[in-house]
C-alpha cells in the first residue's frame, strides 16, 4: 500500500524560516514541492528529475546563501546530500584558462553554486563537460545562479540539467515591512503597523542597521514598545548622517526649486511635459507600494540639455522624496567605467554607482561601451552596470546618454538594458530662436549688453550652423559666446573704450569669421570643448 505523503512538523518549521527572509518567501511552494517529491521518490512513486536548481537572482543583498541554507536543511534531513556546506565555484577557480568544472571533484562541499558571468562561462561550449561532471557527482546539488537579466536564457541552456526553478526578487517595501515586523515580534516588541511604513522606506542595508539600533535601545532600556518617536528619531539619525555631504550643495541654491529650474530652461517644451508625466507616474506607483525602475536613456545631439535635465531630475526626486538625496550628481564618460586590468572593471562600476546612490549617475557617451568581443572589459562593465541598475533601482537614477543611433546599438547589445530602463527620452535640436535666447541668457549672467544689431547676424549663423553634422546646440552657443568675448576684449583694449560690457556687431562678426573656416573644412565645430 502506497503511503500518503504530507509534510511533517519539522518540514513546516523549515519552510516557515523563509517567511522571515526578504525577497525569497515566494519560493516556499517550490521547496514544499521538493519535499513532497522526495517523499514520493522514496516511496517509489516518482523519479523524473534531480535536485539541481536554477535561481534567478535579481538582488545583491546576499540573499542567495540565505535561501540555499534553508533548502540545505531539507536536503540533509532526507539524506540527499551529506553536509550543508556551500561552495561558490568562482571563488576557487584561479584562472579562466582552467576548466572550472574540473575543480568540483576535489571539494567536500555538497552544494555547488555556479554563476556563468562570474566564471565567464559559455554554457553552449562547455555543456558536455558540465553534464559529465554532474553525472559523476550524484552526492552534490548544483545551483545555477542566473544574473543574465535575459528572461529564460539560462533556463533554455540548462533546462535538462536542473529540474527546479526559484527566484530572488528585488526587495520591495512590503518585504522591508515584513522584515521589521518579524524582528520586532521575535524580540517581543509591540508596535503600531501604521508607524512602520515611513520608517521602512529606506535602502535595505540602511534598514537593517536601523532595526539593530532599535532592538539594542529597547533591550538596554527594558522597553517592550516601539513608538513612532523612536522610529522617527532613528531614521533621522541614519538618513541625516548620509546627507551631510550635500548640505552645502543645497544651501547654494536653496531659494529655487527643481520645478522652477525646469520651467526656466529655454525650449524643451516636450521634455518638460514628459518629465511631469514621469514624476506623476513614479509618485503614484510609490504610493501604491510598487516603486518602478527609475533609470533612463537620453538620446540626441550634444548640447541639447541632457545634462541640465539630469541634474534637475536628481533635485526633483529628492524634493519629492522619490530618492533620499544622500548621493552626489555623478557625471562620467562611458569609458570611465572600464578599468585597465582583469577583475578591476566590476569593482570600478560598483564604486561609481555607490557614490551616486541617493542621486543621479549620468553616463555621457555610454555607447563607447559597445563591443563585439565577449568577455571583454567593456562587456564586463555592461554586465556589472545592468546588475547595479537592478540592485539599486529604487535608490538611484542611472541615465545613459548619447547619440540616438549609437544608443540604440548599445541597448541591443545586452537585453538586460531594455528591462532596466524605464524611460527613453529623445532630445531634439534647438531652433535658431531658442539658440539666440540661450546666447542672450549667457550675456545677462555675465552682465554683457548685446547690441540689437547683433541679433540678425546671430540668427543667420545659428541657422547655418544647424546644418553641420553633429551640431553642438547649446554647446555651440557657449563656445561662440567665448569667442565673442575674446574678440570684444581685444577691441576694448585696442580702442581704449570705456564701455567694457558692451558687445557690438563687429565683435560678433569677427568671432563668426574666425570659426567659419573650421566649420566648412571639417563639418564639425572646430573649437568644441
CATH number where 516 lies: 1.10.8.60
Report if residue 250 sits inside a domain: no
Report if residue 1 sits inside a domain: no
Query: What integer pLDDT is reported at residue 302 of this predicted model?
Result: 86
pLDDT digits (tens, 9 = 90+) for 101-116: 777 877 889 999 988 7
Of the candidates 147, 87, 151, the one whose C-alpha atom is nearest the C-alpha of residue 120 is 147
Residue where a domain terminates, one of 146, 168, 190? 168
> What is the C-alpha end-to-end distance of the chain, expressed in Å?
84
Contacts 24+ apart (CB under 8 A), 145-148: 145/55, 145/57, 145/64, 145/113, 145/114, 145/115, 146/54, 146/55, 146/56, 146/57, 147/57, 147/58, 147/115, 147/117, 147/387, 148/116, 148/117, 148/416
Same domain, 177 and 273: no
Q: Cα–Cα distance between 69 and 111 in angstroms, integer? A: 10
Mean pLDDT value of segment 233-239: 86
Asked whether 377 and 339 are in contact (CB, 8 A), the reply is: yes
Q: Is the pLDDT confidence value at 342 over 90? A: no
Query: What integer pLDDT is reported at residue 27 of this predicted model?
Result: 92
Asked whether 157 and 123 are in contact (CB, 8 A), the reply is: yes
234 vs 156: which has the higher pLDDT? 234
Report if residue 527 sits inside a domain: no
Mean pLDDT value of segment 228-235: 90
Q: What is the pTM of this model?
A: 0.56
Domain tally, the chain: 4
Q: Cα–Cα distance between 341 and 349 in angstroms, integer? A: 13
Query: What integer pLDDT is reported at residue 450 of this predicted model?
Result: 92
- % of the chain at pLDDT higher than 90: 31
Report if residue 308 sits inside a domain: yes
Query: What integer pLDDT is reported at residue 93 of this predicted model?
Result: 66
Across the chain, what does the average pLDDT equal? 84
Mean pLDDT value of segment 467-472: 79
Domain assignment of residue 222, given as a range? 173-243
Same domain, 500 and 378: no
Report if residue 2 sits inside a domain: no
Least confident of 252-256, 309-313, 436-440, 512-516: 252-256
Helix axes of 474-495 and 505-522: crossing angle, nearest 10 degrees: 130
Query: What integer pLDDT is reported at residue 24 of this predicted model?
Result: 86
pLDDT digits (tens, 9 = 90+) for 137-157: 888 999 998 876 555 667 777
Task: Count other Cβ atoms within 10 Å, centred on residue 354.
Answer: 14
Same domain, 339 and 408: yes
Least confident of 249-253, 305-309, 361-365: 249-253
Q: Is the pLDDT confidence value at 526 over 50? A: no
Report if residue 463 sits inside a domain: yes
Mean pLDDT value of segment 154-175: 84
Q: Is the pLDDT confidence value at 77 over 90? A: yes
Same domain, 162 and 182: no
Of the candidates 133, 231, 224, the one whose C-alpha atom is nearest the C-alpha of residue 177 is 231
Same domain, 151 and 22: yes
Same domain, 124 and 188: no
Label residue 265 exposed, middle or buried (CB < 10 Å: 0-12, 13-18, 19+): middle
Residue where a domain terminates, one of 210, 243, 276? 243
Same domain, 480 and 496: yes
Same domain, 323 and 215: no
Query: What integer pLDDT is reported at residue 439 of this predicted model?
Result: 94
Task: Count other Cβ atoms within 10 Å, centred on residue 258.
Answer: 20
Same domain, 238 and 342: no
Cell numbers describing residue 303: 548640447
Q: What is the CATH number of the domain that holds 340?
A: 3.40.50.300
Query: What integer pLDDT is reported at residue 326 of this predicted model?
Result: 62
Same domain, 302 and 409: yes
Query: What integer pLDDT is reported at residue 148 of this predicted model?
Result: 64
Q: Is the pLDDT confidence value at 249 over 60? A: no
CA angle (48, 64, 325) in 5-degree steps: 145
pLDDT band at residue 98 using 50, 70 and 90 as cut-offs: low
Edge to edge, what strands does the sheet with 86-88 contain?
86-88, 111-115, 141-146, 53-57, 164-168
pLDDT band at residue 59 using 50, 70 and 90 as cut-offs: confident
Query: What integer pLDDT is reported at residue 164 of this predicted model?
Result: 94
Least confident of 181-190, 369-378, 469-478: 369-378
CA-based max dimension of the chain: 113
pLDDT band at residue 247 using 50, 70 and 90 as cut-offs: very low
203 vs 82: which has the higher pLDDT? 82
Q: Is the pLDDT confidence value at 1 over 60? A: no
pLDDT digits (tens, 9 = 90+) for 317-331: 888 888 866 667 889
Same domain, 32 and 178: no
pLDDT band at residue 529 using 50, 70 and 90 as cut-offs: very low
Query: What integer pLDDT is reported at residue 519 of this predicted model?
Result: 46
Residue where a domain terminates, one of 191, 220, 243? 243
Query: What integer pLDDT is reported at residue 107 of this predicted model?
Result: 84
- % of the chain at pLDDT higher than 70: 88
Query: What integer pLDDT is reported at residue 528 of this predicted model?
Result: 37
Query: What integer pLDDT is reported at residue 193 of this predicted model?
Result: 84
Q: Cα–Cα distance between 234 and 524 in angstroms, integer? A: 56
Helix axes of 63-77 and 28-42: crossing angle, nearest 10 degrees: 20
Q: What is the number of residues in the chain?
A: 529
Q: Cα–Cα distance between 515 and 50 in angstroms, integer? A: 72
Report if residue 510 sits inside a domain: yes
Report if residue 371 sits inside a domain: yes
Q: Cα–Cα distance between 301 and 334 in angstroms, integer? A: 16
Same domain, 277 and 399: yes
Mean pLDDT value of segment 505-529: 63
Amino acid at each position: 500500500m502506497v503511503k500518503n505523503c504530507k509534510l511533517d512538523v519539522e518540514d513546516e518549521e523549515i519552510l516557515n524560516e523563509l517567511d522571515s527572509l526578504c525577497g525569497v518567501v515566494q519560493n516556499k511552494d517550490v521547496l514544499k514541492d521538493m519535499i513532497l517529491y522526495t517523499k514520493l521518490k522514496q516511496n517509489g512513486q516518482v523519479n523524473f528529475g534531480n535536485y539541481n536548481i536554477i535561481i534567478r537572482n535579481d538582488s545583491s543583498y546576499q540573499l542567495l546563501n540565505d535561501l540555499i541554507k534553508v533548502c540545505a536543511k531539507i536536503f540533509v534531513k532526507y539524506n540527499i546530500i551529506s553536509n550543508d556546506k556551500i561552495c561558490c565555484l568562482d571563488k576557487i577557480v584561479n584562472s579562466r584558462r582552467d576548466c572550472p568544472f574540473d575543480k568540483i571533484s576535489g571539494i567536500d562541499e555538497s552544494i555547488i553554486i555556479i554563476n556563468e558571468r562570474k566564471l565567464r562561462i559559455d554554457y553552449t561550449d562547455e555543456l558536455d563537460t558540465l553534464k559529465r561532471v554532474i553525472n559523476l557527482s550524484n552526492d552534490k546539488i548544483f545551483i545555477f545562479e542566473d544574473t543574465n537579466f535575459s528572461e529564460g536564457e539560462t533556463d533554455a541552456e540548462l533546462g535538462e540539467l536542473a529540474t527546479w526553478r526559484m527566484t530572488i526578487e528585488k526587495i520591495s517595501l512590503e518585504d522591508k515591512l515584513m522584515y521589521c515586523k518579524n524582528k520586532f515580534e521575535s524580540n517581543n516588541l509591540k508596535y503600531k503597523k501604521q508607524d512602520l511604513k515611513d520608517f521602512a522606506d529606506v535602502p535595505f542595508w540602511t534598514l537593517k542597521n536601523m532595526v539593530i539600533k532599535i532592538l539594542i535601545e529597547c533591550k538596554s532600556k527594558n522597553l517592550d514598545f516601539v513608538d513612532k518617536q523612536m522610529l522617527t528619531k532613528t531614521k533621522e539619525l541614519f538618513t541625516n548622517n548620509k546627507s551631510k555631504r550635500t548640505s552645502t550643495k543645497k544651501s547654494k541654491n536653496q531659494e529655487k526649486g527643481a520645478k522652477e529650474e525646469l520651467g526656466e530652461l529655454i525650449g524643451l517644451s516636450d521634455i518638460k511635459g514628459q518629465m511631469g508625466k514621469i514624476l506623476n507616474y513614479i509618485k503614484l506607483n510609490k504610493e501604491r507600494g510598487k516603486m518602478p525602475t527609475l533609470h533612463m536613456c537620453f538620446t540626441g545631439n550634444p548640447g541639447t540639455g541632457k545634462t541640465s535635465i539630469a541634474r534637475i531630475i536628481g533635485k526633483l526626486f529628492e524634493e519629492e522624496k522619490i530618492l533620499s538625496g544622500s548621493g552626489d550628481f555623478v557625471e562620467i564618460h562611458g569609458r570611465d567605467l572600464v578599468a585597465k586590468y582583469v577583475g578591476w572593471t566590476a569593482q570600478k562600476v560598483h564604486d561609481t554607482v555607490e557614490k551616486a546612490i541617493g542621486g543621479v549617475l549620468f553616463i555621457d557617451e555610454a555607447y563607447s561601451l559597445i563591443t563585439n568581443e565577449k568577455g571583454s572589459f567593456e562587456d564586463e562593465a555592461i554586465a556589472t552596470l545592468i546588475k547595479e541598475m537592478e540592485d539599486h533601482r529604487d535608490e538611484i537614477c542611472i541615465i545613459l546618454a548619447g547619440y540616438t543611433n549609437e544608443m540604440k546599438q548599445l541597448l541591443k547589445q545586452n537585453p538586460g538594458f531594455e528591462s532596466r530602463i524605464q524611460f527613453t527620452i529623445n532630445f531634439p535640436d534647438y531652433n535658431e530662436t531658442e539658440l539666440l535666447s540661450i546666447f542672450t541668457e549667457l550675456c545677462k549672467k555675465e552682465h554683457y549688453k548685446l547690441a540689437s544689431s547683433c541679433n540678425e547676424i546671430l540668427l543667420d549663423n545659428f541657422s547655418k550652423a544647424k546644418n553641420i553634422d553633429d551640431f553642438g546646440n547649446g554647446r555651440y552657443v557657449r563656445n561662440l559666446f567665448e569667442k565673442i568675448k575674446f574678440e570684444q576684449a581685444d577691441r576694448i583694449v585696442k580702442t581704449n573704450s570705456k564701455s567694457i560690457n558692451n558687445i557690438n556687431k563687429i565683435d560678433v562678426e569677427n568671432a563668426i569669421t574666425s570659426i567659419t573656416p573650421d566649420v566648412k573644412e571639417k563639418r564639425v565645430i572646430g573649437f568644441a570643448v
